[in-house]
Amino acid sequence: MFPMERILHGVMRFRMEVVPRRLGLYRELANGQRPQALFIACADSRVAPELITQADPGELFTCRNAGNIVPPYGQATGGVSAAIEYAVMALGVRDIVVCGHSDCGAMKGILHPEALAGMPTVRTWLNHAEVARRVVEANGPTVDKLQALVEENVLAQLDHLRTHPSVAAHLAAGDMTLHGWVYSLATSEVRAFDAEQHRFVPLGSTAVPAVSARRRPIAARRGDVRG
């Protein structure tokens, strides 16, 4: 069976077998979406967010690109920035997950740029993870750099998230939470960054290891700034 035939059969199966089992849900969704989170993941074929989280359709507003990158907010804005703005402002999403994964081809490419020869667009894109590469180069291990880079990259992209006005406004208001996850293909385990412990811990071992909740009271509420 050719690849696309297999996919076409899946489309038929979805309509004939999957939808009828939950017709109510699908009918309701035809009228609109109310996702509970924005999920930013790698385009890698093995890390489908809906699979890993067993989410129903309608639950995750999903942005996927090579390397689960979040460019910082700026003038040359693109698809990820638009997805963030739309999720937060139009859909009212208040939880954002950035999810990296083991064996990531994008992260491997950063460590071995020669593998990306002839792919200038990929290299330019992965420049948004340059900050993670430099952190690992300067401080990381001499072996297993890939694992360190996957984690640092998630943290770097969380830092980038904070530069987006829609995100920053809600972080300051204390009603948004950012989550940094790494999914291990070998163990199927998801580990989340715990801001208290300053490290990644298995998801579920604690309540919700939020990376960022409320940053601080802003000046206006303290009433103690002077001109």
The answer to whether 128 contacts its own copies (rule: CB under 8 A) is: yes
The answer to whether 104 contacts Zn ion (rule: CB under 5 A) is: yes
The residues, any chain, with a CB within 8 Å of residue 164's CB and separated by 6 or more, are 72, 73, 81, 84, 85
Which does residue 51 touch among its own copies, Zn ion, none (CB within 5 to 8 A, set by kind)?
Answer: its own copies
Which does residue 194 touch among Zn ion, its own copies, none (CB within 5 to 8 A, set by kind)?
Answer: none
8 Å CB contact between 167 and 213: no
Report whether 104 belongs to an annotated binding site.
yes
Report whether 42 belongs to an annotated binding site.
yes
Pick from 116, 105, 123, 125: which is nearest to 185 by CA? 105
The answer to whether 4 contacts its own copies (rule: CB under 8 A) is: yes
Which does residue 104 touch among its own copies, Zn ion, none (CB within 5 to 8 A, set by kind)?
Answer: Zn ion
Q: Find residue 193's DSSP bridge partners.
A: 200
Pick from 157, 160, 168, 36: which is nearest to 93 by CA? 36
Among 12, 21, 24, 114, binds its own copies (CB under 8 A): 12
Which does residue 111 touch among Zn ion, its own copies, none (CB within 5 to 8 A, set by kind)?
Answer: none
Measured CA to CA in angstroms, residue 183 lies from 41, 130, 153, 166 at distances of 10, 21, 13, 27
| Of 52-60, 105-113, 134-142, 154-162: span binding Zn ion (CB under 5 A) | 105-113
Residue with tokens 């089992």: 21
In the bound state with Zn ion, the residue whose beta carbon lies nearer, of 96 and 150, is 150
Q: Which residues are annotated as a binding site for Zn(2+)?
A: 42, 44, 101, 104
Q: Which chain residues interact with Zn ion by CB under 5 A?
A: 42, 44, 104, 106
